[in-house]
Amino acid sequence: MFKINLHLIEYAINTILRSKTKNIFITTIITLLVFLLSSIFLISNSIKYELNQTVDSLPQIIVQNLKGGKSYDIKTKVANEILEIAGVADAIPRVWGYYYFQKAGVNFSLIGIDQYEMKYKNSLTKVAQSFNLEGESMVVGTGVQKTLQNNYYDKYFNFIKPDGGFKKIDIGGVFDGDTQLESNDVIVMSNDNLREILDMRSSRATDIVVKVNNPEEIPMIASKIKAKYPNMRVVTNEDLKISYANIFDYKSGIFLALSLIALFTFFIIIYDKASGLSSEEKKEIGILKSIGWKTDDVLKEKFIEGSIISLFAYMAGIILSFVFVYIFQAPGIRLIFEGFSVLKTTFELPFVFDMQTLSLIFFITVPIYIAATIVPSWRTATLDADEVIR
Amino acid sequence: MIKKTKILFLSFSILIIALILQLGYLFNTKSLTNTQIQKKQDFVSISQMPDLAISTTASYIRNRSLSDTFLIYKDDPTLREYFPSTFTYSQGIK
Amino acid sequence: MIELKNITKIYEANKHNKVTALDNINLKFNEGELIVLKGSSGSGKSTILSLIAALSKPTSGEVIVDDKRISKLPDNFASLYRREHIGFIFQKYNLIPTLSVKENILLPLIPNNPDENECDFKLKTVLDKFNISHKKDSIVKNLSGGEQQRVAISRALINDPKIIIADEPTANLDEKLSLDFCDILKNLKTQNKTIIVATHDPIFFDLEFVDKIIEIKNGTII
């Protein structure tokens, strides 16, 4: 039966404690590396998770008009033409855009809905804190409300129209705080009001959202639309899903580059360990061999040594990163993901447990360090003991 | 004789327990509840807009999936476009 | 019984720099004998000890201990053989200086994974025998030469080996401590251990309990 050799573990611990400073340094570096890598993966996993919760509520197909690479208004009659394609259940022209509130230096996303649609009334009740879309009113995200209040707009807001005039719209409701990540900068109002603010004729729309009867036909219908309107961009919900899966890849890359210092130090440690033992360490192995330790015993001891340091550092790094990301909400690192944004959300990163991420980080730290500890010892332990102790 | 080994096992046990307790706590308090998820889904079915409001200043990041083709060039005119179109990855519409 | 048959050992520093440590020597030792290998530095006596302890392999010839050919043993078996049958007292003691007396002495036992009681019993036996109980928690590098030697002897004997090998044991000791060491040898001989001592210290040549004195010069027996 396999019995754990506690004496061997004790010896390994003593060996580690003999070079206390060096080993504390190594453990700290590995902990730091695990902490940084794990934090960044946790943040990006949380954001991806957040996105994936709502991706199925998004439009199946979005059709946009492009002119010279810039998106342009689309004629609403295109919606009727798209409706004629077999398999299309609905094609709705959509009005949305951005509004730059210069005084606060903040960008709002404006979305138009048809205020008389029952389904919107019902949905809005569920997600807005108060609700009064009668007359010229809008429902705003919490970030918008705060910004407006800071600029003395408590009950209404004056939008500056493209012709220089003003459009006053009352604040009819505020979106629930739980939807902050999605709604923070959003203003929802009627299509008519929005058209006025964006100076868009009723025969035009920002884009067209298409619903299909059979979701499996989405790619086929998308290609039909593309064939019919080759200048237009057609985005399907699958495209969005793939886009979400790749989200923050380049930002993660930036951060990983910052982690380069820790990575670099880690690999220098590995190189230093793997390139050979000091004469003291070699002599010690020679002594152990000469008093009856087998090569296996020596390697077992080195394995235990490497495992203790790397496993301890790994666990400490993981625990610290969970605390940092989910309890302290990743101060500092978050800024990299948020990017430059005047209108900040106070969103909480949702907890996501991803075994794959933790395993990946485990495999790039622990076995490499253990191998770097064992390999040079193996080289020495397989020599004649006599040669080593002379 | 094996005092330090016992301390080591104790330390690792504490770490493992700390990790498990931490995960349990986070799962119970920081996960998205079904109500929250439902609210988000309801909101998105109204707004029909993709992407999160994390970064709102640059429009090509706010609704990155729907932004103009060349907006990324705003950052630096020498930047080469390295995403196909904008930030959506086409499934291959022919 | 220990037998060396036609043993030749050549150390090759490089192709042009060969040193013949032993040249076709033949030796036989019986169980329970105390043998002294006499010779100056570089005569080859340490090499003989290494070969008997399976610390190195001969270039040609065979080393047979209790009818087993140990010169061709694979590495792990050679280590096991040393652990079970050999107690080696090195010239420079080869203790681990940063470990305590207790930890050094118990080193040979560790791979066997003994239980606590067995460890404590064996440790107490050797500590009392060689009078270093009072220093058991001291770090070895802080001990005197004589004390270190007693630790080295304790370590060599912790597994109760049949064969005890000592390489220049009195090289770093004064006269009194050297005589103390001779007493220890006398005591061990009464336990029917086979003892081989390599030395050029004349103190050993007049001891009445020595069974054989073999003189080695330039790798051959005189």
- The domain limits of chain C are 33-57+72-207
Which residue in C has a C-alpha nearest to residue B3's C-alpha?
Answer: C116
DSSP state of B63: T
A-chain residues within 8 Å CB-CB of C159? 292
Fold classification of C33-57+72-207 is Rossmann fold (3.40.50)
Q: Do A239 and B57 touch (CB under 8 A)?
A: no
Residues 1-30 of B with CB under 8 A from C: 1-2
Residues 6+ apart with CB under 8 A from C196: C2, C29, C35, C37, C48, C49, C52, C163, C164, C165, C166
Amino acid at C132: I
DSSP B8: H
Angle in degrees, CA C64, C67, C72, rounded to 5: 45
**Do A81 and A101 share a structural domain?**
yes
In a domain, A336, yes or no: yes
Binding-site residues on chain A for chain C (CB distance < 8 A):
3, 5-8, 11, 14, 18, 283-284, 286-297, 382, 384-387, 389
DSSP code for A128: B
Torsion of CA B62, B68, B70, B74, to 10 degrees: -40
Q: What is residue C85's predicted lDDT score, i.e. its pLDDT?
A: 92
Does C55 contact A384 at a Cβ distance shorter than 8 Å? yes
- pLDDT for A24 equals 94
Residues A353 and A220 in one domain: no
| In the predicted structure, residue B81 carries a pLDDT above the cut 50 | no
> How many residue contacts between A and B have a Cβ separation below 8 Å?
220
Pick from A172, A207, A236: which residue ends a domain? A236
Residues A227, A323, single domain; the answer is: no
Is A290 within a domain?
A: yes
Are the beta carbons of C159 and A292 separated by less than 8 Å?
A: yes
Give the integer Cα–Cα distance in Å for A98 and A229. Answer: 26
| A290 and A315 fall within a common domain | yes
Query: pLDDT value at position B61?
Result: 59
How much is the pLDDT for A118?
A: 53
**A50 — pLDDT class (breaks 50, 70, 90):** confident
Mean pLDDT of the A98-120 span: 77
Among residues of chain A, what percentage have pLDDT more than 90? 28
Residues 6 or more apart whose Cβ sits within 8 Å of residue C46: C91, C167, C168, C198
Of the three residues A209, A236, A263, the one that is the final residue of a domain is A236
What sign does the CA torsion over B14, B19, B24, B25 have? positive
Spell out which residues of chain A touch residue B50, defining contact as CB-CB under 8 Å.
Answer: 55, 58, 240
Per-residue CA distances from C163 to A148, C123, C166, C189 (Å): 93, 19, 10, 11
Amino acid at C217: K
Residue A243 lies in a domain: no
- Residues A111 and A188: their CA atoms lie apart, in Å, by 5
Ramachandran region, residue C83 (left: φ > 0; alpha: ψ -120 to 50; beta: rest)? alpha
A177 in the same domain as A68: yes
- Report CB contact under 8 Å: A183, B30: no
Looking at the predicted structure, is the pLDDT value of residue A342 above 90? no
Q: Are residues A267 and A186 in the same domain?
A: no
pLDDT average, residue stretch C47-55: 91
Query: What mean pLDDT do residues A81-93 have?
Result: 91
pLDDT band per the 50, 70, 90 thresholds, residue B82: very low
Q: Could you give the CA distance from residue A295 to residue A308 in angstroms, rounded to a whole number?
A: 20
Under DSSP, is residue B41 helix (H, G, I), strand (E, B) or coil? helix
Show the tokens assigned to C92: 């420079």
C159-173 mean pLDDT: 89
pLDDT for residue B88: 45
State the pairing for strand pair A106-113/A96-101: antiparallel
For residue A178, the chain B residues in CB contact (below 8 A) are 35-36, 39-40
Mean confidence (pLDDT) of chain A: 84
DSSP secondary structure code for residue A324 in this structure: I
Residue A172 has pLDDT above 90, yes or no: no
Residue C197 has pLDDT above 50, yes or no: yes
* Whether residues A367 and A297 fall in one domain: yes
Q: How confident is the model at residue B10 (pLDDT cuts 50, 70, 90)?
A: very high
Average pLDDT over residues C121-135: 89
Phi-psi region of C97 (alpha: psi -120 to 50; beta: other; left: phi over 0): alpha
A1 belongs to a structural domain: no
| pLDDT-wise least confident of A98-102, A285-289, C195-199 | A98-102
- The percentage of chain A sitting over the pLDDT mark of 70, rounded to a whole number, equals 88
Our count of domains for chain A comes to 2
Lowest mean pLDDT among A91-105, A118-132, B2-16, C29-43: A118-132
In DSSP notation, chain C reads: -EEEEEEEEEEEEETTEEEEEEEEEEEEE-TT-EEEEE--TTSSHHHHHHHHTTSS--SEEEEEETTEE-TT--HHHHHHHHHHHEEEE-TT----TTSBHHHHHHGGGGGG---HHHHHHHHHHHHHHTT-GGGTTSBGGGS-HHHHHHHHHHHHHTT--SEEEEESTTTT--HHHHHHHHHHHHHHHTTT-EEEEEE--GGGTT-TT--EEEEEETTEE-
What was the pLDDT predicted at A101? 83
pLDDT at residue A136 is higher than 50: yes
pLDDT at B94 over 60: no
- Residue A232: pLDDT band (50, 70, 90) is confident
pLDDT above 70 covers a percentage of chain C that reads: 99
C-beta contacts of A302-306 below 8 A and 24+ residues apart: A302/A12, A302/A373, A302/A374, A302/A377, A303/A370, A303/A373, A303/A374, A304/A8, A304/A9, A304/A12, A305/A12, A305/A15, A305/A16, A305/A373, A306/A369, A306/A370, A306/A371, A306/A372, A306/A373, A306/A374
Residues A98 and A26 in one domain: no
The mean pLDDT of B11-19, rounded to a whole number, is 95
The pLDDT, as a whole number, for residue B22 is: 94
Please say if the pLDDT value at position A85 is more than 80.
yes
**Residues A99/A197, Cβ–Cβ less than 8 Å:** yes
Same domain as A22, residue A153: no
Over residues A303-312, the pLDDT tens digits come to 999 999 999 9
List the 21-40 stretch of B: residues with Cβ below 8 A of A: 22-23, 26-27, 29-32, 35-40
Q: Does C55 touch chain A (CB under 8 A)?
A: yes
C27 in Cβ contact with C81 (< 8 Å): no
DSSP A349-386: PPP---HHHHHHHHHHHHHHHHHHHHHHHHHHHTS-HH
Residues A344 and A280 occupy one common structural domain:
yes
Domain containing A177 equals 59-236
8 Å CB contact between A338 and A344: yes
Domain boundary among A236, A257, A284: A236
In the predicted structure, residue C159 carries a pLDDT above the cut 70: yes
pTM (two decimals) = 0.82
- Say whether pLDDT at B80 is over 50: no
Ranked by mean pLDDT, which of A31-35, A278-282, B84-88 comes out on top?
A31-35
Same domain, A69 and A217: yes
Find the range with the poorest average confidence among A58-67, A82-91, A339-348.
Answer: A339-348
Contacting residues of A for B87, CB less than 8 Å apart: 243
Residue A265 vs residue B20, higher pLDDT:
B20
Do A65 and A186 fall into the same domain? yes
